């Protein structure tokens, strides 16, 4: 396997980038009235405008040629065929099977997993129905109107993001909380808002071994018992979402209260599985199913559309162009929709845990930059925080601007103002402002010549900052599903071209291992512990200091 950066198609793109060095994006628009039509497309209820990237037809041709040389279409076929494309963990990658409504069958190791998916989804539907109509009761006979999802990473971010995005669809009278951090304040602050008689704890963990989740689950259990619950009441107030039946049983949750998924569902790709139970409980199972159907519509587009008309593939390719040839090391996710406020956090895990890799699937160095730093905030908040750097900083940052033409919640002229910003910011990033324009504006303000000379450099915007616009009619369960699937497939396409395995995450392990060692060296409050000496001087010094402070705090 050769590094992608060594092949002819890569060299052609390097030549394209060099050839465009003196060309402005503004100029590309001025010279080509058909640019918007050519560099935009629609699929699964989403419209993508990628014309505000510094690309030409030749660049797109070369990007498609690169994807073809990397056998993107073959990799796509291998994924949907259930091959163990997650080679380092020897696992298939079949989250699309969780939302297949086309009647396809998916096999893993000879087993038809479509039947398992359907059976588990039916159990979820039945459970949701019984919770919603009050048939599932707490220990004192009251209906359960509150869900606390205890999970972290993919067992938290997806459900949390979706529940927030679908606020107008919440089932009346229901409350949902999400506890992820091992910082006890997260759980304690949540518990303070709960009625133990009407709360259902949903313990979400693919492995059921994650320290944060098990610690929070044990503490929630202890709280429940301290509030008057008995051991035999646990079954009424705790359910588990996991692949690990043994660990769930060891925790004390019986099989009837467990909703299963499988090792071919990656944690960050799991909201479509049993991990979506908290979504279904909060927005209703029908809306959860619509979310799956929206993702399915994007899957159908992704599997069938030729690369040149394929939204995830094109989003991946312009992203790769910006990352590898335009020098953009960071990518901003900017939803102009308050209900999508957790989308950037969700995509941080999806993208950075998938493509934050430095070796190829065969273990050799990748030889080029891979996944960018993902960050973001809802618009317009980000405009008053970090957009300064995007407009005038020294580093190129690419961005996705995401909006719905119709708000979920119309209020006066708020939405027009929001959309005006959604449109104006990418235009400003693309156009920039020249010296002459800056001077003209200052002259128009009646500034003196010396003020104009002094201020003009500060008022220049280089422009040419690459952005995509993703527009939908309205944020609904369907369009949200399509949006998430769009990003899942985009990330997959980039991973294939870089030659990395996007489906493992060994990079999170080292810190976890070290934390276990350090945990044994931190003194309990008030306890005398000899100074730890097993680490570097900085870690040792901090351990000593924390132990000393905690001893002192106990003394007070």
Angle at 155 between CA 114 and CA 264, to 5 degrees: 35
Based on the shown chain and the rule CB under 6 A, indicate whether residue 153 belongs to the binding site for ligand F6P: yes
Q: Cα torsion for 154, 467, 419, 335, to the nearest 10°?
A: 10
DSSP 8-class letter at 405: E
**Measured between alpha carbons, how far is 173 from 180 in angstroms, rounded to an integer?**
23
267 binds ligand F6P (CB under 6 A): yes
- Told to check if 406 binds ligand F6P by CB under 6 A, we report no
Catalytic residue among 11, 142, 417, 512: 512
Nearer to ligand F6P, 154 or 319 (CB): 154
Which C-beta is closer to ligand F6P: that of 205 or that of 322?
205
Find the farthest-apart pair of alpha carbons in the chain and give their distance in angstroms, rounded. Answer: 83
Active site residue 353: yes
Give me the torsion for CA of 468, 473, 477, 483, rounded to 10°.
-10
Report if residue 250 touches ligand F6P, rule: CB under 6 A. no
Binding ligand F6P by CB under 6 A: which of 508, 534, 549, 553? 508
Q: Kindly state whether residue 3 participates in binding ligand F6P, applying the rule CB under 6 A.
A: no
Decide if 512 is catalytic. yes
Is residue 91 part of the contact set for ligand F6P (CB under 6 A)? Answer: no
**Cβ closest to ligand F6P, residue 66 vs residue 161:** 161
Give the active site residue among 164, 197, 353, 377: 353
Give CA separation, 525 vs 25, 92, 542, in Å: 60, 46, 16
Q: Is 119 in the site for ligand F6P (CB under 6 A)?
A: no
Do β-strands 107-108 and 111-112 pair in parallel, antiparallel, or remain unpaired?
Answer: antiparallel
- Omega cis (within 30) before 380: yes
Q: Does residue number 18 form part of the binding site for ligand F6P (CB under 6 A)? A: no
- For residue 158, the minimal CB distance to ligand F6P (Å) is 9
Q: Which stretch binds ligand F6P (CB under 6 A): 21-29, 207-215, 381-389, 454-462?
A: 207-215
Task: Provide, rounded to whole angstroms, the least separation between the CB of residue 46 and ligand F6P.
Answer: 25
Please identify, using beta-carbon distances, which residue of 253 and 402 lies nearer to ligand F6P: 253
Nearer to ligand F6P, 206 or 237 (CB): 206
DSSP lists the bridge partners of residue 469 as 49, 401
Q: Indicate which single residue of 35, 95, 99, 268 sits in contact with ligand F6P (rule: CB under 6 A).
A: 268
Instruction: Please identify, among the stretches 41-49, 174-182, 206-214, 297-305, the one whose residues bind ligand F6P according to the rule CB under 6 A.
Output: 206-214
- From the CB of residue 516, how many other CB atoms can be counted at a distance below 10 Å? 9
Q: Where are the beta strands (DSSP E) in 67-188?
A: 107-108, 111-112, 146-150, 175-179
As a whole number of angstroms, the distance between CA 454 and CA 144 comes to 66
Closest to ligand F6P by CB, 269 vs 321, is: 269
In terms of Cα–Cα distance, which of 150, 169, 159, 254 is closest to 211?
A: 150
514 is a contact residue toward ligand F6P (CB under 6 A): no
Residue 342 as a binder of ligand F6P (CB under 6 A): the answer is no
- Total residues in contact with ligand F6P, by rule CB under 6 A: 14
Ranges within 468-507 binding ligand F6P (CB under 6 A): 505
Residue from 206, 290, 331, 465 touching ligand F6P (CB under 6 A): that is: 206
How crowded is residue 313: how many other Cβ atoms within 10 Å of its Cβ?
Answer: 27
Q: Which is nearer to ligand F6P, 407 or 505 (CB)?
A: 505
Cα separations (Å) of 332 from 54, 63, 212, 351?
17, 22, 28, 12
Return the number of other C-beta atoms located less than 10 Å from residue 331's C-beta.
Answer: 22
DSSP state of 350: I
Strand 258-260 versus strand 330-335 pairing type: unpaired
Binding of residue 355 to ligand F6P (CB under 6 A): no
Question: Which residue among 384, 458, 509, 528 is the active-site one?
Answer: 384
Tokens of 51: 């014309």
Task: Compute how many other C-beta atoms are within 10 angstroms of the C-beta atom of residue 61.
Answer: 14
d(CA 550, CA 179): 26
CB 406, min distance to ligand F6P, A: 33
276 binds ligand F6P (CB under 6 A): no
- Annotated catalytic residues are 353, 384, 512
Site of interaction with ligand F6P (CB under 6 A) = 152-155, 205-207, 210, 213, 267-268, 353, 505, 508
């Amino acid at each position: 396997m050769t590094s992608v950066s060594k092949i002819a198609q890569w060299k052609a793109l390097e030549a394209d980038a060099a050839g465009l060095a003196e060309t402005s994006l503004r100029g590309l628009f001025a010279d080509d009235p058909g640019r918007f039509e050519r560099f935009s497309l629609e699929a699964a209820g989403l419209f993508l405008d990628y014309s505000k990237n510094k690309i030409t037809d030749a660049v797109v041709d070369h990007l498609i040629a690169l994807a073809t040389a990397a056998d993107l279409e073959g990799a796509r076929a291998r994924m949907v065929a259930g091959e163990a494309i997650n080679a380092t963990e020897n696992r298939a990658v079949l989250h699309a099977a969780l939302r297949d409504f086309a009647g396809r069958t998916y096999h893993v190791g000879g087993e038809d997993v479509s039947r398992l998916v359907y059976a588990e989804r039916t159990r979820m539907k039945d459970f949701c129905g019984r919770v919603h109509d009050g048939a599932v009761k707490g220990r004192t006979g009251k209906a359960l109107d509150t869900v606390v999802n205890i999970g972290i990473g993919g067992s938290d971010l997806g459900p949390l993001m979706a529940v927030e995005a679908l606020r107008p669809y919440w089932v009346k009278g229901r409350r949902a909380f999400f506890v992820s951090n091992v910082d006890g304040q997260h759980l304690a602050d949540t518990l303070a808002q709960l009625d133990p008689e009407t709360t259902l704890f949903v313990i979400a963990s693919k492995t059921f071994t994650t320290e944060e989740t098990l610690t929070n689950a044990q503490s929630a259990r202890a709280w429940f018992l301290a509030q008057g619950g008995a051991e035999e009441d646990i079954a009424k107030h705790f359910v588990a979402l996991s692949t690990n039946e043994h660990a769930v049983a060891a925790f004390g949750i019986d099989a009837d209260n467990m909703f299963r998924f499988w090792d071919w569902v990656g944690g960050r790709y799991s909201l479509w599985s049993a991990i979506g139970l908290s979504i279904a409980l909060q927005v209703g199972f029908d809306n959860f199913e619509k979310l799956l159907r929206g993702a399915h519509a994007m899957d159908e587009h992704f599997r069938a559309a030729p690369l040149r008309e394929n939204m995830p593939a094109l989003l991946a390719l312009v992203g790769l162009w910006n990352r590898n040839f335009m020098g953009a090391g960071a990518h901003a996710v900017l939803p102009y929709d308050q209900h999508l406020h957790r989308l950037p956090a969700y995509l941080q895990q999806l993208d950075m845990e998938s493509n934050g890799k430095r070796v190829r699937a065969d273990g050799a160095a990748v030889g080029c930059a891979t996944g960018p730093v993902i960050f973001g905030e809802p618009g317009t908040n980000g405009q008053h925080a970090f957009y300064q750097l995007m407009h005038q900083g020294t580093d190129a940052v690419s961005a996705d601007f995401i909006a719905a033409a119709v708000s979920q919640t119309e209020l006066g002229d708020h939405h027009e103002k929001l959309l005006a910003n959604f449109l104006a910011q990418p235009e400003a990033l693309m156009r920039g402002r020249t010296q002459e324009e800056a001077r003209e504006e200052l002259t128009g303000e009646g500034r003196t010549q010396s003020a104009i000379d002094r201020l003009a450099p500060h008022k220049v915007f280089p422009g040419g900052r690459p952005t995509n616009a993703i527009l939908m009619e309205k944020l609904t369960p369907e369009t949200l599903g399509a949006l998430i699937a769009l990003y899942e497939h985009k990330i997959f396409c980039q991973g294939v071209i870089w030659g990395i395995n996007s489906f493992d995450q060994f990079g999170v392990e080292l810190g976890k291992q070290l934390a276990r060692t350090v945990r044994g060296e931190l003194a309990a409050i008030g306890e005398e512990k000899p100074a730890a000496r097993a680490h570097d001087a900085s870690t040792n010094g901090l351990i000593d200091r924390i132990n000393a402070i905690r001893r002192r705090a106990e003394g007070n």
